[in-house]
Structure 1
Amino acid sequence: MDFLSENVYIDAGFQHLCESVFVRLCQIVGTSVQVAIRRETKDIKEMVDRRVADNDDVIRMQSGSEREGFRLKGSDLDYMYWLNNHRVIFHMSQSEHYYTENKTLILFDSSESPPGFTLLELLTPTRYRQVQSACVPMNDRLYISSSLYRQQTLGHHFPGSIGHGPCESGEVGGIEYDLACCFACDFWPLSASSWIDRCHSWPDREVVNEIVRNGCHFVPIGHPLGLHEQEEWRMSFSLAEHKLVHSMNHCQFLTYGLLKIFLKEVIDKQSEETNKLLCSYHMKTVIFWVIQQNAVPLWCPQNLLVGFWVSFKLLLKWVYEGVCPNFFLPENNLFLSKVHGSAQRKLFLELHGLYEKGLVCLLQSPSIKSYITNVLYNPRLSICTNEDRMISECDHDKELFNEIYRNSSYYPQNLDHCIKYLHTIELMIGEPLTQYQVLVLQNITATILQSTAFTLHNMYTNTGLNKQMYIADRMSCHMLKLAAKFGCISNMMYIAMFHCNTFRFREALGITDIIKVKLAQPGLMYMRHVDTEKYTVAVGGQSWSTKMRQAVAYNIKINVHTCYINELTLEQQSALQNYSAQLCIPLFVLLHFVEFLCYKHNDTRLSRTALEELQVLVHHDQGLYVHHLFRDISWEILGICQQKTGNLQAALYSFQQSITQFPVNKIQNATQMRIQDLHIT
């Protein structure tokens, strides 16, 4: 059966329909500017990560749809982790590229594995217990078992997490996550060399060369039909895939997004028997093949549904044949273990039923339906596909500042680490960066300066060396003031914390007063909460730097490796023991906390007022200023203040509330200790 022979008839009405769906997809998926912001801000963060990483570090890379530039509801967060001092090689001659005194080498052995899978032989000694414990002898050689490695690296980062495929899977605040511990390879596999030869028209040669230079990864999952399922590893091209997605034009990217939406809202709703057979990776594979084969002559808004329909027909063909060829290794059939037998036949009949309806099948998608019916019932409806007019200045800024906040977090462990970050940033300043990347680098600089200031101060506290303490104090104050100029309103809070912790309460309260005035402005953008009209009136047309300083605020992130406020030392230690690098505290909670600590020393009435304001905020806020994910630390801080006033029963209640919240800050050890210290029976 040839499902690719039929063409979609294109006329003015059809183009009108395509334009309407294009506009809707820009609203759901994002405009090209929004997608560029998401990608470029993540790119610069990973660039800094890569350059600062030591040989003994664990490298983290975001993968999946978020890394590609999507922000679809229900999408999960995907991360890959690997040991920087372990590398996979394809043949022994590649070992000459490494200094084996500080690199553990692992040999690829696919002689008995299906395409896309392999055994991994440990060639040189490793000092990592997880790797050692995963080794199994086979044929007088030592291989790393994928199933054992999964067990060894299953960290149970949050309650309810489970092993799922090669990953640890769980949920935080309604968002699902997948964490995969893998091994990196700096070389492109010979078995995938045919892919390079296929790249005549897409992607361009520069992208191909970059993909080949970056190599691939191996994730701990074997083929269910392989001879060594428990020991085998699957070859992963995640890095290559997000480079390919980034090389799409926006219409191609939106078509990919439409396929993902269609899968979730239409295909998966056909029947329970078939709703787990296809996944978004199959949609990605389809769009890759369609683009590379030039099956669509022109990717543009007026032609968008042609791309969708050609992709859907190719998917239908694959389901009919029971073969979904991996884009890099076509001999690896992605349907082999799932889409076969009666389930395959049922899925084909369901998809063919949708196919027979034509593009009308899109009416089954709640996200798209109204935009199709609007055009059908109003054929003369005017549709603007100019992306600049689809998104307001405020919404654009919200996207940008949110991505900056997400990608500016760093937690150096000591002063040497701080200096290494600052030196890395200094070297990057002269490089060709986009306007969004400059802003991220600016905010990363502020974050590192803040960590450096507190680290430096803590190094000289109680040393008895007055001159050094004075110099360190001056330098710390200068760095914190400099950081406040780089970032948003929240950055001033670090100055207030520093003054509070060094007993300069009047100076600290002077800063909190300034912060409160700024936070009281009607045009404030706090996290993603903002009144669009008031924000535009307040700072519309200003530079992004001006907007951040005057109208943007976020939660406060505290590096657990150094002390910011003495009263939170226990919580920082608890987070550190649970492998968390930060405490994330709602800005308004921290503001009242610092005011309480400062007033407690000289004004009982104002101290009580600050505590009352904190109590009202924690007890009654509906998620505007205290997000539900950060209620653990908010209740904790309230309890600490209540304990300091001698109200032990109220403190006990607050600590008990803290320990029942989702432990995103991982402070439950500290909370248990505080409850025990109350000595209330």
Structure 2
Amino acid sequence: MTQYQNHSVLISNLLDYKGYGGRMLSIRRKMQSSYADDMNKKSSWFEFSTIIVGSKAEGLSGPLENDSDIMKVLKDTVCKEHFTSVTYEREHQFKLALDHSRPGYSLLQTIQICNSVWTATLLYESMVELAPNTLYLSSEFLKNKIKALIIDGLCKMPRSQEFVNIHNETQGPSIVFDSPGLTDTVTALRCECPSYLSAWLCRERNYQWPPIAVVREVSNLDSHVVPVGHTASCFQFLEWRICFTKGEIRLVHSLNDCLIKVLILLKQIAKVTLKPLSKDMSTYLMKNVVFWLAELNDYDCFTQYALIVALKKALAYLKHFVVTNNFPSYMIPQRNLLEGKLTHSQRIKICMRIDSLLKEGPHMVLKIAKIRTAISMCYKSPTVFSRISMKLHEIHIILYLFAHLYIHSLPETPHNLADTTRSYFSSRIAGFILCRLSSSMLDVEQCYKDLGYFKFSDSGDNISSLISEMLC
């Protein structure tokens, strides 16, 4: 009999109630894909296409949970490892110069700039000449140029400051906005890097994940380079990082229910217990841990009854990577995700913390405040807790519908954004949706009161705060 069976089933069911079951994951994924399609249709004239990435695209976070991550891909631009003699007139072309960078990074040597496209000036102003007649595109220069263009464009939009605020500091390749939620926007260029993809496609796998069909699908998806260099490189301001974002999203979608929940728990436990020890204990690292866990073990063992065992095994993998100070990227194993990241003291503290978590067994999930709250509610009244869960799922769907219709109402040019937003919020359909949302929120508030969370009816601020927490 699998160890911790009862604990695993309980936690798995609680996560279903919290909106991490198959139905809500599917709804979130479809809605996020629809958002990206709608935004690209609305801005077909624009030189960037939009891809929603991160936990939102993976379906692992709700509408009010975590940051939104968006990738803006420059159209009519391609970076290739190898070029044929064929060139396209309306296409910027760059060659991946992999020999001068660490695994997973590259310089971009200019092959062709199409002067008939307005982005030509932007690219020319971001280039560096390292040798006579040999130009390279600087990741740092282009990122700063695009940020300046965004700020300039917002300044020309009436009342844009009411909706958007840009952070002064960038985070890695990202430009961070408050609009009104936190949004990380990454500029990217499409790239073709067959050497890395072929190695990933053909590597030996002893178990069932990922399925052959998914492996082939991932190998055919677009790859990208994003503007951030390796911190230890003397060419850091020139380097670009190669990423397989679309492929990683597809891989997350292919994980079964148990591994999805391991990923959710691992991210949240790491955020509470490991991130305070080092900011480099990121959600991206946890995702790579789960990918390795899925590939290197019998996939059939990852069931609802083995959730806690799988979570402990994932933490053991993470500890091994920290002890050896070598964390191979799942897509590019030659790239060490921990290189130059952790001090010796941090590695010791992280390993000690992981050991402590492993000793706690299933009780480690109590580190997550939302799990503690859910267990408390379920213990007090399973019926009321179930009703809260249904209402919160309903609120999620209402919020997605509200956002979907808002995107549909946006103009094809950004100049009337503020007026369009005001018009939408005062429309009949928006009023109806907000009325339904308010009704559902009041139902949840009453459920909280029934459970004894609030003694006085004037504690509305506290109720709203707790509801927001539960929605996340």
TM range (shorter): 0.7 to 0.9
User: Alignment partner for residue 358 of structure 2, among 340, 345, 355?
Assistant: 355
TM-score, normalised by the number of residues in structure 1 = 0.55
Given that 2:91 and 2:113 are in contact with CA atoms closer than 8 Å, whether structure 1 keeps it comes out as no
Equivalent position SS for 1:164: coil
Question: Aligned partner of 1:77: which letter?
Answer: S
CA separation in 1, counterparts of 2:34 and 2:354?
Answer: 41
Q: What is aligned with 2:5?
A: 15
CA deviation after TM superposition for structure 1 residue 90, in Å: 1.6
Given that 1:217 and 1:235 are in contact with CA atoms closer than 8 Å, whether structure 2 keeps it comes out as yes
Equivalent position SS for 1:525: helix
Q: What is aligned with 1:403?
A: 400
TM-score, normalised by the number of residues in structure 2 = 0.77
CA deviation after TM superposition for structure 1 residue 219, in Å: 0.7
Given that 2:197 and 2:219 are in contact with CA atoms closer than 8 Å, whether structure 1 keeps it comes out as no
Q: What is aligned with 1:266?
A: 273
Equivalent position SS for 2:279: coil
Q: Deviations over 1:626-648 (max 9, x none)?
A: xxxxxxxxxxxxxxxxxxxxxxx
CA deviation after TM superposition for structure 1 residue 213, in Å: 1.9
CA separation in 1, counterparts of 2:65 and 2:412?
Answer: 34
CA deviation after TM superposition for structure 1 residue 296, in Å: 5.5
CA separation in 2, counterparts of 1:530 and 1:316?
Answer: 42
- Asked which structure has the greater CA Rg, the reply is 1
For residues 45-64 of structure 1, the aligned pairs below 5 Å read: 45-47=35-37, 54=44, 57-64=47-54
CA deviation after TM superposition for structure 1 residue 194, in Å: 2.0
Q: Deviations over 1:603-637 (max 9, x none)?
A: xxxxxxxxxxxxxxxxxx99x9xxxxxxxxxxxxx
For residues 575-586 of structure 1, the aligned pairs below 5 Å read: none
For residues 122-521 of structure 1, the aligned pairs below 5 Å read: 122-126=110-114, 127-128=118-119, 129-140=121-132, 141-154=134-147, 155-156=150-151, 158-173=165-180, 175-185=181-191, 187-198=192-203, 201-269=208-276, 274-294=277-297, 297-369=300-372, 391-392=389-390, 394-408=391-405, 409-410=407-408, 411-413=410-412, 490=427
User: Alignment partner for residue 25 of structure 1, among 2, 6, 15?
Assistant: 15
CA separation in 1, counterparts of 2:177 and 2:314?
Answer: 32
Given that 1:108 and 1:119 are in contact with CA atoms closer than 8 Å, whether structure 2 keeps it comes out as yes
CA separation in 2, counterparts of 1:59 and 1:68?
Answer: 19
Ranges in structure 1 where 5+ consecutive residues have no aligned partner: 1-8, 415-450, 455-486, 494-514, 534-620, 625-681
CA deviation after TM superposition for structure 1 residue 138, in Å: 1.4
CA separation in 1, counterparts of 2:45 and 2:92?
Answer: 11
CA deviation after TM superposition for structure 1 residue 407, in Å: 3.2
CA deviation after TM superposition for structure 1 residue 369, in Å: 4.1
CA separation in 2, counterparts of 1:244 and 1:50?
Answer: 24
Higher relative contact order (CA 8 A, sep 6+): 2
Question: Aligned partner of 1:150: which letter?
Answer: K
Call closer, same or farther: CA 1:314–1:223 in 2, change over 3 Å: same
CA separation in 2, counterparts of 1:382 and 1:528?
Answer: 22
Question: Aligned partner of 2:13: which letter?
Answer: V
User: Alignment partner for residue 68 of structure 1, among 34, 58, 61?
Assistant: 58
Q: Deviations over 1:433-475 (max 9, x none)?
A: xxxxxxxxxxxxxxxxxx9xx9xxxxxxxxxxxxxxxxxxxxx
Call closer, same or farther: CA 1:259–1:15 in 2, change over 3 Å: same
CA deviation after TM superposition for structure 1 residue 383, in Å: 8.9
CA deviation after TM superposition for structure 1 residue 184, in Å: 1.4
Equivalent position SS for 1:60: strand
Equivalent position SS for 1:227: coil
Alpha-carbon RMSD across the aligned residues, in angstroms, is 3.7
For residues 31-42 of structure 1, the aligned pairs below 5 Å read: 31-42=21-32
Given that 2:176 and 2:185 are in contact with CA atoms closer than 8 Å, whether structure 1 keeps it comes out as yes
Given that 1:78 and 1:179 are in contact with CA atoms closer than 8 Å, whether structure 2 keeps it comes out as yes
Ranges in structure 2 where 5+ consecutive residues have no aligned partner: 152-163, 414-419, 445-459, 464-472
Identity of aligned residues (%): 21
Q: What is aligned with 2:103?
A: 115
Q: Deviations over 1:40-85 (max 9, x none)?
A: 1222343455677757531111111111112266511111112211
Equivalent position SS for 1:266: helix
Aligned residue pairs total 415
CA deviation after TM superposition for structure 1 residue 304, in Å: 1.1
CA separation in 2, counterparts of 1:151 and 1:528?
Answer: 45
Q: What is aligned with 2:456?
A: none
CA deviation after TM superposition for structure 1 residue 328, in Å: 0.5
Q: Does 1:83 align with 2:74?
A: yes
Call closer, same or farther: CA 1:488–1:299 in 2, change over 3 Å: farther
Call closer, same or farther: CA 1:390–1:325 in 2, change over 3 Å: farther
Call closer, same or farther: CA 1:243–1:26 in 2, change over 3 Å: same
CA separation in 1, counterparts of 2:139 and 2:443?
Answer: 50
Question: Aligned partner of 1:179: which letter?
Answer: T
Question: Aligned partner of 1:227: which letter?
Answer: C
Call closer, same or farther: CA 1:159–1:49 in 2, change over 3 Å: closer
Question: Aligned partner of 2:227: which letter?
Answer: P
User: Alignment partner for residue 94 of structure 2, among 106, 113, 120?
Assistant: 106
CA separation in 2, counterparts of 1:49 and 1:370?
Answer: 37
Question: Aligned partner of 2:143: which letter?
Answer: R
CA separation in 2, counterparts of 1:251 and 1:146?
Answer: 39
CA separation in 2, counterparts of 1:92 and 1:147?
Answer: 25
Given that 1:189 and 1:215 are in contact with CA atoms closer than 8 Å, whether structure 2 keeps it comes out as no
Call closer, same or farther: CA 1:290–1:191 in 2, change over 3 Å: same
